[in-house]
Structures are given as structure tokens and as C-alpha cells.
Structure 1
Amino acid sequence: MRVRRWVSALAAGILTAGTVSVLSAPAAIADPADCPELYVLAIPGTWENSADGQVPGMLSYPTSGLGSETRVQLVGYNATAFPWETGGSIYGKSKAQAVANAEGLAITMTNRCPGTKIAVIGYSQGADAAGDFAAEVGTRRGVIKPSQFAGAVLISDPRRTKKDALIGPKLTGEGNGGPRQGGFGWVSDRTFTICEPGDQYCNIPRDYYVSRIAGYLAETSDPNPDQLGQYQAEAWAIVSELVTRGGPGALVNELSNEKARAQIIAFNRFLQSGSHGDYARFQVEPGVTALQWAQNYLAGLA
């Protein structure tokens, strides 16, 4: 009887302690009432600046009409490529500024509104920056966790690879800036790339080494020490492919007047074609343009 009473008393104590613990547990703190469900960071392309804070140029349509639960934020940055531009900086420094500004906005929002998910969309240089942002999140080097990341749309990404989730027709080339080593990691299933087949920024033939070297130099024009491994990997890939295709003689041929001239002519045709700015008409699915697809995707994340 004594043992039974002792067990009963112990059980009652446990239940009482459990009840007290439950009753005294702190209540979950809700996000402020004005927190959006989805926070979309829009990074425009080179020279697509905005004086009024509105999303300019190519991204204005896909970031409009996304619903009351979504807030769109323009990511301001120099958006320049050459140091002689007014207020300009070299491409690498301009892109790094875009990535840093996007990260600052993301961490400020998630600190205040932990339940808000972050999405990003970028075009051209902005897609380059948006892709780097997504890659850092996906490889757990970013300022937010993969679980806080809703998705990304990269339009004309100079670092597009064949491994990326492509929306639209299959392509034979890749971006002229070289790949992101490690890809998008944990957010690969939420990061989509769109490239018009004639757009040489995101679809350059692999044997256009002059163009690839130019893209490599742009990417490394303001080197980030954290990405040293990526720079080395791309440089080695270019050299390795040249050697594999015919040893040192292949490099000489690649830089010959005839081969270089052919690439310059092709690039001029690309610029004249307007394909880099044709995403409002380029159909990724029957009856669905690239910008419509991007808008639909973002609208479905909230």
C-alpha cells in the first residue's frame, strides 16, 4: 500500500508539474499585422534605373497585379557596366551591390516578419544578381534559410547552365558568364530560368571562347574573395575545353582574325535582333509569353 500511495503521489506530481508547465508556456508571438505573406525582390537590368521607386523596364509587368498578400520591392543599385558611365561602376561591382542590397532587404523583412517568404526576380544583370542571391540561399551561405525562400525567376541570366530549370524551348548553349559552382542547392526546385534562344547573354555556344572569356572578365571585374573557387573553376573550364579541342593551336585559332571576326559578326546580329529585349513577346508555352509566365508563377507563391 505504501508503494502504491508513493507511485500515486509521484504520478499526481508529474501531472501537476505538466499542467503548470503547459499553463505557463509563453504564447507564440504573431507577426505584425502589416506583414506580407510574400515579399518579392525585383532586380532590374543594366541601365533600368527608377527615380520613383517603381519597378522599371522588363520587370514592371511580371511584378504587377500579384495580389494583396504580396509586397514588391525594387532593389536599387548602380545597374551599370562601365566605369565611365555617369555614377557608374564596373559590372562586377555593380552586380555585387545588387546582391548586397537584396540581402539587406531580405534580412530586414524576415527579422521583422519571420513568417514572410522571400521571392526574387531579375533580368539580365539583375538576373545575374538574383541568381547569385538564390544560389547563396540554396547552398546555405545566404542571409535567409532555404525554408524562408519561396522561389526565383531569372530572365536572361548570364550564368545560366544546362542544369538549371529552364522554362521554354531547349537550348544548346549556356550563359556567357560561366556557371555558379554548386548551383542552387536546396532551392533548385524553386528557381527557374528563362532565355530567348537568340539571346547570347544567356545562350552562347560553348565554342565561342572569345565571348566566354569576355563574360568571365566581366564577372571577375570586381572579384569577391568568397567566390574565388568559382572564378578558378570557370577559368580552368575554358582552358581545358580549348586544350581538349586541339591543344594550344586551338587557342591560336580561336583568337585568329577569322574566328574572332565571326563571333563579332554574330554578336552584332544578336544586338540588332533585339532578342535580349523580346521577352514580352517570346512564348515559353503556346500562348504564354515569358513575362506572363513569370507573373503567373509569382502570383501563385502567395
Structure 2
Amino acid sequence: MRKTLTVVAVLAVLAVIGVGVTQFLESQDGIDGGTGGGQPGESDTAAPPAQPDWCPRVEVISAPGTWESAADDDPLNPTANPHSFMLSVSNPLKEAYAPEDVKVWTLPYTAQFKNINAQQEMSYDDSRNEGTARLETELRDTHASCPATQFLLTGFSQGAVIVGDVADKIGGGTGAIPADNVAGVAIVADGRRENGVGINPGFDLGGVGAEIALQPVSGLVQGIVPGATMRGPREFGFGSLADRTYQICAPNDSICDAPRDALNGLDRARGLIEANGVHAMYASNTGVIADTTANQWLVDWARQKIDQI
């Protein structure tokens, strides 16, 4: 049984890792609204900062999954992994819009996880923390310079966990930017997915994200995969972003649709192993969302959002 628990924990962790306003605000000269002159030292309320002409109307954030990104990758022209699932979403958007109108930015981070078969890699926790910090820096910096720019946040697998965590803090009022600047969030195969949290555009699911299923035995996971903390549900349930956050998950994907009793018995171990391949098939699996694939749904969703802004 202990061997079975070990196999299940390693498999689940491995896979886990694996609108708004867009008008330009014009600055205004101070004007005395009264009939007489203003008093010495008196000035009008400062106008909101203007949106510079060079700012994009929308910025699309794309967060790749494990082994699909690198810390030194070019966020505007990523080449770390030409087979990255998220490239099948970001490239069509780059082709559809002028870069000065819609900026497509791919998160460059060390998308790795240290485990018994890859001792030289960065731990899951460190990799996730690095990705989160870089994503939040990009959001803060862009918002500081371009206060009217709207964001679309997307990600896959480990990237979905990162984007989901960042969106959860924004929706809870403690994030990098105001929630009003987020036009939408759509993440695929999120290891912290919960039924009823966010919007499921696909088929009904009975399981939860592997980080939730494995949280009760996080200590066991840490013993096998050091630096891989199973954190359970998110704090805010996406807060004010819950009504514009989409959770895409393939049925039986052991990363986002793991049974809550995933550590109880050999049958669950076999189920997790059989479901392993599902996680790599989102670009071709038509059983996730009716009549389409996950990447095509993301492209259509993003284009609709962009065109509405």
C-alpha cells in the first residue's frame, strides 16, 4: 500500500506541475469653475492620468506549463518550447491583431519541478514562486504606465496554477492590479480547480485539482518530491473575478479532475495512470468542450473579449 501511495503521489504532482474601459483619458488644464478668481494656493482636483498613445488596448498574458517555458525566454517571441500548448493560443492572437493594439506576453519562468527522476531541476514551489513574481511584476509595470489597458489572463497546467493564484488575489482585492482592469481569465488543467468556483464551459466534472486531492497527504508528497507543497483550495474563490474566470478541464485528467479519494486503493492508482495521457491532449481532445478543442475555445474567447473592449 505504501508503494501504491508513493506512485500515486508522484504521478499527481508530476501532472499538476506539468469590459471594460479602453477609451483614452485626456488630461485637462486646470479651470476655475467659479465666477471669481481662485484663492492663492488653490488648485483644481488633478485629472486621472492619461493613457499614452503607445499603450496597448489589451494585453494577453499566456503562462505555459511545465517544460514549456524558460527564465530567459523572450516574452514577446517565445522559443523555449516550440511544442508548447499555449503557443497554439498565443500565436493565432498575435496574427490577428497589431502588436501596438494587442500585446501578447508569454510568461518566462523556470517551468520545472524537482523530483526523484530530476534532482537537478528547480523545485515546484520555487518554480511556481518565480513565475508568480514575474507575472505580477509585468501586471504592475504595465498598469503603472498604461492605466486603461485591459488584461486577459490565460495559462496551462503549472501556468494555470500560477495565473489562477494571481487572479485569486486580484479578485480578493489584494492583487497586483485592480480587478476592473481584468477583462477575463481562462485557465486549462488547473491543479487547484474546484467545482463551482469560476465557470466551467465544458462537461460536468466529479473530481478536483490534484493539489486539493493531495493536500491531506502533503507531508508524504514532500517526502517524495521535496519542495512540492499541496496547498488545497484558493483563499478567495476568485472573488470579484469569479464571474469572468473560466476553468477548462478534461474529464479524467488527474491534474484537474482527480478523485478526492485518490490515495485510497489500487483502483485509484490505475485510474490516475490511465488518465495521465489526457493531460497532454488538450489541443486535439474534443471531449473537453462540446464541438471544439480547448485551444480553439481559448482563441475564440479571447478574440470575442478583445473585440468587445
| TM-score after normalising by structure 2 | 0.70
Instruction: State which of 171, 176, 187 in structure 2 corresponds to 1:154.
Output: 187
Match of 2:279 in 1: 276
Q: Secondary structure at the match of 1:58?
A: coil
Larger Rg: 1
The letter for the 2-side match of 1:269 is E
Alignment of 1:102-181 (within 5 A): 102-164=135-197, 165-178=199-212, 179-181=233-235
Q: Deviations over 1:186-215 (max 9, x none)?
A: 11111101001021100011222x2xxxxx
Q: Over aligned residue pairs, what C-alpha RMSD do you find?
A: 2.6
Corresponding letter in the other structure for 2:106: L
Q: How does 1:17-36 map to 2 (within 5 A)?
A: 17=37, 29-36=49-56
2: distance between equivalents of 1:145 and 1:139?
Answer: 10
Would the aligned equivalents of 1:119 and 1:150 in 2 still touch at CA under 8 Å?
Answer: yes
Q: How many aligned positions are there?
A: 238
Shift of 1:89: 1.7
Which of 111, 130, 139 is matched with 1:79 structurally?
111
Given candidates 56, 64, 71, the residue that maps to 2:91 is 64
Question: What is the CA-CA distance between 1:85 and the residue it aligns to?
Answer: 4.0
Q: Structure 1 residue 70: deviation in Å?
A: 1.3
The structure, 1 or 2, with the larger RCO (C-alpha pairs under 8 Å, 6+ apart) is: 2
SS at match of 2:206: coil
SS at 1:61's partner residue?
Answer: helix
Match of 1:41 among 57, 61, 73: 61
Task: Give how far 1:299 is off.
Answer: 1.7
Looking at structure 2, the residues matched to 132 and 24 of structure 1 have their Cα atoms a distance apart, in angstroms, of: 40
Deviations 1:237-280 (A, max 9, x none): xxxxxxxxxxxxxxxxx3xxxx1x33322222122xx2101111
After superposition, give the CA deviation of every residue in 1:8-54 in whole Å (9 maximum; x if it has no partner).
Answer: xxxxx943358xxxx97766643222211111121110111254543
What residue identity is the alignment partner of 2:299?
Q
Shift of 1:286: 3.8
Q: Is the 8 A contact 1:62 1:295 kept in 2?
A: yes
Inter-partner Cα distance in structure 2 for 1:281 and 1:128? 22
Residues 156 and 59 of structure 1, relative CA distance in 2, 3 Å threshold: same
- The structure whose residues are more often helix, as a share, is 1
Q: Tell me, yes or no, if the aligned pair for 2:192 and 2:234 is still in contact at 8 Å.
A: yes
Find the counterpart in structure 2 of residue 186 from structure 1. 240
Percent of paired sites with the same residue: 30
In the superposition, relative to structure 1, how do residues 172 and 14 fare at CA in structure 2: closer, same or farther (>3 Å)? same
Say if 1:28 and 1:129 are closer, same or farther in 2 by CA, change over 3 A.
closer
Structure 2 residue runs without a partner (length 5+): 1-32, 213-232
Contact 1:155–1:195 (8 Å) recurs in 2: yes
Range that drifts further, 101-110 or 25-34? 25-34
- What TM-score, normalized by structure 1, do the two folds share? 0.72
| 1:295 paired residue among 289, 299, 308 | 299
What are the ranges of 5 or more consecutive residues in structure 1 without an aligned counterpart? 1-12, 211-253
